[in-house]
Structure formats: C-alpha cells, structure tokens
C-alpha cells in the first residue's frame, strides 16, 4: 500500500499543477484533421490509418469492427494465461476475479468454470501484452491521439446461462464508470477470443447512441438476479434498432464510451471469451462525480475498494483510476 500511496501523491501533485493547462490546450480532432478532410470530424484523428469511410462510419455509428486484428497465437497465449490464473498457478496483484451471481454461492464450481470476469490485469505481463499490441494501438491512436493510457482491463468469460438469465449484461454506457473526460478521447477495444454469435451472447450495440449524453444507470429489475455492478441504462427502450456484432476469433471492435451496448444470454455450453481494454488520452482530466448520475457507481466502487484492498476515505474514486492506469504510448501528461 505504501508504494501505491507514494505513486498516488505524485499523481495528485501533478494533477493539481496541470489540470487547467490540459483543459485549455485540448485540441479537437476537428482542428487537427481540418486540412486533410474539409469535413468536420468530432471523434477521430487523421493518422493515415482509417479511411474516410471508416471515419464517417465511426462518427455515425460509434463503433468500427476490424476483422482479424489479433493473431490466433496471441489469443491462445492469453487463454493459457487465463487458465493459469483460474488454477491459481499465478497470482496477480490487484486482480479482481468475479464469479457469476448465480454460481457465487456454490461450493462445487472450481477453476475456469467459476470465473465470469477478470478485471484489472495490468500487473499480469502476459495478459497486459494485449493492451500494448502495436496493431491495436495504431487504431487507438486515431481516437485518443498520441498519449495513450490503458485505464481499464477485462477478460470476460461469459458462462453458460444457468437458466436465470444472469449471463446477460444489461445495456449500458461505459462512461458511467469513468470519472474522466472528454468522452471523445476514450475508446474501448474488445477482441473476440473465439467465434462469438447470438447464441453465446455476442455484443449488442445501439448504433449512433454515442451522440446522446450520459444516461442514468441502475440495476435492472431482473427476476433471476443481476451481477454486482452490472448497471443498465434506466428506461431502456427495446425498440431502438440494435445490431448484433457477430465476430470471429481475433476480430476487434473499437467503440465510443457513450455507445449503448450489452450482451445477451449465453445459451451454449461453452464459456464465451473476450479480452478488452479501455484507453484514454493521458491528456484527459478527472472530474468530480458528486451530484452527478455517476455517484451511485462511484459509491459502489469505493465500498469495494474499502473491503477488498483496505483503502480508506482518503482515496477517492479518481485515485483508484490513477493507480490502475498505465501509460502505453507517448507521455503521461495529466492522467
Ligand atoms: C471498477 C468497475 C469499472 C468498470 C469499467 C468498465 C465498464 C465495465 C462494465 C462492467 O463490467 S461493470 C461490472 C463489473 N463488475 C464488477 O466489477 C464486480 C466486481 N466484483 C466484485 O465486486 C466481487 O466479485 C464481489 C464483491 C461481487 C464478490 O467477491 P468476493 O470475493 O467477496 O466473493 P464471495 O464469493 O466471497 O461472495 C461474497 C458475497 O458476494 C456475493 N457475490 C459474489 N459474486 C457476486 C456477483 N457476481 N454478483 C453479485 N453478488 C455476488 C456472494 O453471493 C456473497 O454474498 P453473501 O454475502 O450474501 O453471501
Ligand atoms: N430491461 C433491460 N435493461 C437493460 N438492458 C436490457 C434489458 N433487457 C434486455 N437488455 C439487454 O439487451 C440486450 C439484448 O437482449 P436480448 O435478451 O434480446 O438478448 P439477445 O441475445 O440479443 O436476443 P435474442 O435472444 O433475440 O438473440 C442484452 O444486452 C440484454 O442484456
Ligand atoms: O463482453 C461482454 O459481454 C460485454 C461486457 C461489457 O460491455 C463491459 O464489461 O463493459
Ligand atoms: Fe461495457
Ligand atoms: Mg433474447
């Protein structure tokens, strides 16, 4: 804890000094790309990677799917590391292992079959390699710009549904969880570790929903139960056009943190695996979520941090992010 506390002090001092400057000097994607494309782009930078069509698609839809971006070899290595973690052959500092709520109380489920999700694997060199893959960062840079932080990491092992529909992930906006801005300089990369389709609960997205604002989130009223912290947008409208993102192993989707998305039930016998990372420009700044719609999740996270890691009130919701974030490219300017 003392090393973490030291690191925190450095971060906080730095934040005090740089906040105003960062806010003032933020360049919009539009300004940077203006000379190349007279069309105004709000969400992407021109790095010679995205085609104009891809940029327009992200503006319009809030996501782009890149086929075959991560190799089978890499994914097989991530899967092996996941197995080692589940068998407790390696211990990873700071790692959060979540079990599905419907099997959490069962004594008989062991190893990989007990794990729904790993979070915060930034201290596992093998899994964290995913967040540093050059072919991923090349895309990330189009959304964040050159200074890139890996802010949140997950390996999702969506279990076969036990019949209570708890394997669903309600429709949500990831920004609900993040006390930093601006939203347009944050992006999620989500890579299928095997074929994902409707039957095993692929991602479901509401195209264009990133144009809206951050909505109120809460636990949906689902009879069979709901996993801890799986908040969904309140007043979810099931009539909004949805797209099911069916993907092959290695396919990767990049999406905006305001994009409303979730995933359906896993109706197969297999555990549906995906690995993901949320990136943000290190030029982003932390915000105070007190009095906002994010207050409910920040209280839950603080409670969890208190229980699990014994951190006290002096560590804020923002601090928990500064401690977990890792620079993966460029300079750590603010975050
Ligand atoms: C920090 C979040 C950042 C996310 C940003 C990106 C967007 C991500 C969107 C998300 O995915 S948000 C959802 C992420 N979910 C979490 O972060 C949940 C984190 N996991 C946990 O907090 C722990 O796994 C949990 C506290 C729920 C349980 O851990 P324990 O190691 O204490 O489990 P244990 O088996 O000892 O069970 C303790 C109690 O928790 C209950 N429990 C266990 N797993 C559960 C579960 N999955 N859901 C609900 N309750 C659960 C369990 O039944 C038991 O209840 P009782 O006290 O009544 O006996
Ligand atoms: N009331 C709700 N609030 C928030 N999200 C919801 C709600 N009801 C369903 N969802 C989410 O909507 C998405 C689609 O749900 P659905 O049950 O239709 O699953 P599906 O697998 O996509 O559909 P299908 O069974 O038709 O293939 C999932 O992410 C699910 O968690
Ligand atoms: O893999 C999934 O089911 C989606 C998970 C998700 O959207 C999240 O954890 O934020
Ligand atoms: Fe999400
Ligand atoms: Mg359904």
* ipTM of the complex as predicted: 0.89
Q: Are 271 and 112 in contact (CB under 8 A)?
A: yes
Residue nearest to atom 20 of ligand 1 (CA): 98
Residues 101-105: contacts with CB under 8 Å, at least 24 apart: 101/166, 101/225, 101/226, 101/227, 101/228, 102/162, 102/164, 102/166, 102/224, 102/225, 103/159, 103/162
For 214, residues 6+ apart whose C-beta sits below 8 A from its C-beta are 173, 175, 176, 183, 258, 293, 294
Residue nearest to atom 21 of ligand 2 (CA): 264
* Alpha carbon distance 57, 25 (integer Å): 27
- Residue 39, pLDDT score: 63
Closest by alpha carbon to 115, among 151, 90, 89, 83? 83
**Ligand positioned closest to the Cα atom of 176:** 1
Residue nearest to atom 10 of ligand 3 (CA): 174
- Residue 305, pLDDT score: 82
- Residue 38, pLDDT score: 53
Instruction: Kindly give the parts of the chain with pLDDT less than 70.
Output: 1-39, 105-109
* Alpha carbon distance 150, 28 (integer Å): 21
Give the up-direction half-sphere exposure of residue 55: CA atoms within 13 A in the CB hemisphere: 23
- Residue 102, pLDDT score: 80
- Residue 18, pLDDT score: 38
| Residues comprising the chain, all counted | 335
Q: Which atom number of ligand 1 is nearest to the Cα of residue 120?
A: 1
Choose which residue among 116, 119, 156 to substitute to test ligand 3 binding: the one with the highest number of ligand atoms within 8 A of its C-beta: 156
- Residue 97, pLDDT score: 92
Closest by alpha carbon to 25, among 278, 281, 279, 213? 281
- Three-state DSSP at 328 gives strand
**Ligand positioned closest to the Cα atom of 243:** 2
**Ligand positioned closest to the Cα atom of 218:** 2
- Residue 8, pLDDT score: 41
Residue nearest to atom 3 of ligand 3 (CA): 263
Q: Which two tokens stand for residue 236?
A: 């979810």
| Chain position carrying tokens 């971006």 | 69
Per-residue DSSP letter, 198: T
Distance 192 CA to ligand 5 centre (A): 20
Q: Are 81 and 126 in contact (CB under 8 A)?
A: yes
């Amino acid at each position: 804890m003392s090393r973490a506390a030291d690191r925190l002090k450095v971060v906080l001092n730095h934040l005090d000094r740089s906040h105003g400057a960062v806010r003032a000097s933020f360049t919009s994607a539009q300004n940077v790309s203006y000379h190349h494309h007279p069309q105004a782009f709000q969400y992407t930078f021109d790095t010679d990677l995205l085609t104009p069509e891809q940029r327009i698609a992200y503006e319009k839809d809030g996501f782009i799917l890149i086929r075959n971006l991560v190799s089978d070899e890499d994914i097989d290595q991530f899967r092996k590391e996941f197995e080692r973690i589940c068998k407790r052959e390696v211990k990873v500092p700071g790692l959060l292992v979540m079990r599905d709520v419907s099997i959490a109380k069962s004594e008989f489920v062991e190893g990989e079959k007990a794990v729904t999700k790993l979070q915060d694997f930034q201290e596992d060199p093998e899994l964290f390699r995913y967040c540093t893959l050059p072919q991923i960062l090349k895309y990330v840079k189009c959304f964040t710009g050159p200074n890139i932080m890996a802010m949140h990491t997950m390996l999702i092992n969506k279990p076969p549904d036990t019949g209570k529909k708890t394997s669903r992930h309600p429709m949500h906006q990831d920004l609900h969880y993040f006390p930093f801005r601006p939203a347009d300089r944050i992006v999620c990369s989500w890579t299928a570790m095997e074929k994902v389709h409707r039957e095993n609960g692929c991602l479901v997205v509401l195209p264009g929903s990133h144009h809206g604002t951050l909505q109120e989130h809460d636990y949906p009223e689902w009879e069979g139960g709901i996993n801890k912290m799986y908040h969904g947008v309140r007043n979810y409208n099931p009539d909004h056009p949805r797209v099911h993102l069916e993907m092959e192993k290695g396919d990767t989707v990049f999406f905006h943190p305001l994009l409303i998305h979730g995933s359906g039930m896993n109706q197969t016998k297999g555990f549906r695996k995906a690995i993901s990372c949320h990136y943000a420009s290190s030029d982003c700044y932390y915000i105070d979520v007190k009095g906002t719609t994010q207050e409910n999740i920040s209280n839950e996270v603080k409670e969890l941090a208190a229980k699990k890691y014994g951190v006290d009130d002096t560590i804020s919701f923002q601090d928990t992010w500064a401690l977990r974030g890792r620079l993966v490219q460029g300079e750590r300017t603010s975050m």
